[in-house]
């Protein structure tokens, strides 16, 4: 027999705040996050009442923190010592943050223990993202300083303009497409592949201990793409995986 852990927990669907902010700080345990442009400021939450994030707004900074709880998502079946956990998409809460289009955030710190993150059409001076388990997907991002750290999950970036930054993945793939690197981007993966496709960069350095390095279909470790020797620079390093530049 299945038991629903959420039977006695009310679900809510509400706007947490619509106040303007310049800095964003997010601390979630197991909530999915979406940040996208719109015509106004808004933070919307859909999920169980006991996991509704606490909102703290001080001057120009917005903080969202998921309260601590021992309850996990989903349903379970148990007979004696045997237990089976089943988690569906409807069991996981979601926060959607809307920022006015063309508004420029000064800083965003996002930390997730478990949950997927999507970002679309955002302008940020400095973005720091950390996740223990979950995928990151970014479409249309302008960022001066980027720092990504993912333990288990993939990072997929499309139409991104990066001044400088780094991406560190332990177990997962890194994909960057249709983008522009202004100064330097360093990508490191332990177990996973790195793919760069249709990205404006002057120089590439690829290293791997167990895998292949490919630039424009040929095996290589270094390539000068542009004419300027002091132009933008891409470094990719993998312990077990392939580095590919197309």
Taking the model in full, what pTM does it have?
Answer: 0.87
Which residue, 139, 190, 198, 141, is CA-closest to 167? 190
Domain limits, the chain: 11-133
What does the pLDDT read at residue 228? Answer: 54
What does the pLDDT read at residue 226? Answer: 53
CA distances from 20 to 25, 33, 73, 236 (A): 14, 18, 31, 38
For 85-101, what is each residue's pLDDT tens digit? 544 455 689 999 999 99
Which residue, 141, 44, 57, is CA-closest to 96? 44
What does the pLDDT read at residue 84? Answer: 53
What does the pLDDT read at residue 189? Answer: 95
What does the pLDDT read at residue 135? Answer: 98
Which residue, 172, 216, 159, 206, is CA-closest to 186? 206
What does the pLDDT read at residue 86? Answer: 46
Residue numbers in the chain where pLDDT is lower than 70: 1-8, 70-91, 220-229
For 134-185, what is each residue's pLDDT tens digit? 999 999 999 999 999 999 999 999 999 999 999 999 999 999 999 999 999 9
């Amino acid at each position: 027999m299945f038991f629903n852990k959420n039977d006695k927990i009310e679900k809510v669907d509400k706007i947490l705040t619509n106040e303007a902010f310049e800095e964003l700080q997010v601390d979630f345990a197991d909530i999915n996050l979406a940040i996208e442009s719109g015509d106004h400021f808004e933070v919307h939450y859909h999920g169980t009442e006991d996991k509704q994030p606490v909102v703290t707004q001080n001057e120009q900074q917005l903080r969202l923190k998921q309260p601590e709880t021992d309850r996990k998502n989903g349903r379970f079946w148990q007979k004696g010592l045997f237990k089976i956990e089943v988690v569906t998409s409807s069991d996981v809460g979601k926060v959607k943050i809307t920022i006015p289009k063309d508004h420029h955030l000064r800083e965003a710190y996002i930390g997730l223990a478990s949950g997927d993150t999507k970002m679309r059409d955002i302008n940020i001076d400095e973005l720091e993202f950390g996740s223990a388990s979950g995928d990151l997907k970014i479409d249309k991002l302008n960022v001066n300083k980027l720092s990504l750290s993912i333990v288990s999950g993939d990072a997929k970036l499309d139409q991104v303009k990066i001044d400088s930054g780094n991406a560190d993945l332990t177990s997962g793939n890194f994909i960057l497409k249709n983008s522009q690197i202004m100064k330097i981007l360093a990508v490191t993966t332990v177990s996973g592949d790195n793919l760069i496709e249709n990205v404006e960069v002057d120089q590439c350095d690829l290293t791997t201990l167990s895998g292949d390095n490919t630039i424009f279909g040929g095996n290589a470790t270094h390539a000068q793409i542009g004419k300027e020797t002091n132009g933008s620079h891409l470094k990719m390093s993998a312990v077990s995986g392939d580095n590919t530049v197309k």
